[in-house]
Amino acid sequence: MSLTNVTIDNGGLHRPETRAANVYLTAGLHNILLLYGDATGSSTLVLEYQGPGLTRQLVPTGILCTGIQPERPVASNLAYSPHMAARVEGTTGVSSLPELASSSAIAAFVIANAPALPAGITINTDNGRLAVDGTVPLGTYSVDVAVTNAGGNATFQDAFVFTVAPAPPAGCAKNAPNGSPPTAGLYGEYYTGYFDDDPTFFETNTPLITRLEPGLNYTTDDGWGNVLPPADNTLLDPDHYSARYRGSISLPTAGSYTFYLTSDDASYLWLDNAARMSPLRIGQAAINNGKRHKPTTESVTLTLAAGLHDFVVLFGEDTGANQLVLEYEGPGIARQPLPGGITCSAFTGQPLPVKLVRFEATPSGSYVNIEWATAQEVNSLKYVVERSRNGAVFETVESRPALGNSTQAQTYRLTDRAPLPGLSYYRLRQIDKDGKESFSAVVVVQVSKPNALTAAVFPNPNRGSFSVRVQQITAEPAQLELVNMQGQVVYRQQLPAAAIAEYDLKVPGLAVGLYQLRLSSATGVATQKVVIE
């Protein structure tokens, strides 16, 4: 005896509530087992039934028997794989053939809850294949299947789910993960156990429930429908389960969008290229609302192009409250739960190209430092930095190999050590592996004309022993002098011709104080302060 195969679950502490189940039964005797418990408050227990030619009524004493019938080998383990099929309204579809175990030949397959379903949902009585026709209206329909063999009949509740949904947004053409044609909505999968912030959980476990979700707006503990199993506890407060939602969303215009993800416990959101990774990587999540916690909202603001964007949401419920809400807002759109009409049950299958988020060229002395950053890269071969005197004709400065494919932010740097003097223009050329090219915006840089003669002193301050680095545009002889605050030359040295040279000086006996080092040559004059300690 187990709650996993209970016909009616009205468990937990609660006031009087009624729950029902549709069961297909053959004529004759059927064993029945009722469990009841009362803690405090009212004590109510009522068993009713209805069936062919019978209105709803109390089960009469005259049809009950105290004897237990011997166990009969009925069919077991009925399963359709996949468990769900979605269709656009007005179209037809079928399920896969069921698998089951039976010790005797199957006499018939029957839809046990047929009165509660539209007439357009039917079953092949010989092989159990279910079908939906174009007359079935929008909605989600859980089909109970009864199987009869020589031992009697067995009813399998929620054996298969048909969802008839609106058409997907424009451009969503690939099939959902289970092979169903794309529709509006998200492809949802429900697993036993808490995934404990490990995305590989969803790659190594099998979902017990798959269904199409119109959106993610579960604000109450009892608003999830029947997720027992994979969840445990009660229908009113399911615990210890995890869910994955996949698909794409269609944004009407380009601009800044904010997404809000509320959950108890862990939840994560991935977008675009990051959503296509297998397994998903926590560090690439657009929203990280992980770990066990009470209802908490996290958000992210992103600049996104118009059109379809792939996304994945992971959710895990341990114990306590179980809530999950995905909201968004954007250009002309007030904050609201993500509407089902802009969602698609399938990925686009199209990775985004290189997304350049920054290109900068900054003068630094006689050099120009260049830096650029990407948010993602797809099929990228290399980057080429180019410069121009007039902003029209460009020449190559240097190139860098691209990472190729990445969903993480990347930063690249190089230095132009021989920039053009005065005003110049820089741009970045990005080249794909298939030969396609794209260019960044042009950046304007002003490079000052380098000094003809410079001198640098180190260490400074010092105790009369220091080095002097001399740099001039042409190799000329130079004279070096050290002058005190009274204008007196306290040290003089002739330097040989050199464009760049470094000299070690020792000038003993200098009084503590401030001096001026003066360097002169045919290229000009340079001075530096020198502090003697």
The mean predicted confidence, pLDDT, of the chain is 88
What pLDDT was estimated at residue 147? 93
Residues 151-175 have a mean pLDDT of: 89
Residues 292-314 have a mean pLDDT of: 90
Residues 323-342 have a mean pLDDT of: 93
Cα–Cα dist 373/353, whole Å: 14
Contact 146/123 with Cβ under 8 angstroms? no
The pLDDT tens digits for 363-403 are: 887 789 999 888 777 778 889 999 998 887 888 999 888 88
Tell me the residue type at 85. Answer: A
- Beta strands 287-289 and 355-364 are unpaired
For residue 204, the 8-state DSSP code is: H
Question: Would you state the structure tokens that stand for residue 37, as one six-digit string?
Answer: 């418990």
At residue 493, does pLDDT exceed 90? yes
Work out the percent of the chain whose per-residue pLDDT is above 90: 43
Residue 3: other Cβ atoms inside 10 A = 13
Residues 467-481 have a mean pLDDT of: 89
Collapsed DSSP state (helix, strand, coil) of residue 282 = helix
What pLDDT was estimated at residue 350? 66
Cα–Cα dist 199/311, whole Å: 14
Contact 163/141 with Cβ under 8 angstroms? yes
β-partners of residue 456 are 469
Question: Would you state the structure tokens that stand for residue 256, as one six-digit string?
Answer: 């800044």
The total number of residues shown for the chain amounts to 533
At residue 291, does pLDDT exceed 70? yes
What pLDDT was estimated at residue 354? 63
Query: Higher confidence at residue 281 or residue 132?
Result: 132
Task: Output the pTM of the full model.
Answer: 0.57
What pLDDT was estimated at residue 407? 66
What pLDDT was estimated at residue 1? 59
Residues 74-94 have a mean pLDDT of: 90
Question: Dihedral of CA 308/309/310/316: which sign?
Answer: negative
β-partners of residue 123 are 130
At residue 352, does pLDDT exceed 70? no
Tell me the residue type at 365. Answer: G
Q: How confident is the model at residue 351 (pLDDT cuts 50, 70, 90)?
A: low
Residues 508-519 have a mean pLDDT of: 90
Work out the percent of the chain whose per-residue pLDDT is above 70: 97
What pLDDT was estimated at residue 333? 94
- Beta strands 84-88 and 152-165 are parallel
What pLDDT was estimated at residue 3? 66
Which segments within 203-295 are labelled E, that is strand? 209-213, 217-218, 232-233, 238-239, 241-251, 255-264, 267-271, 287-289
What pLDDT was estimated at residue 130? 96
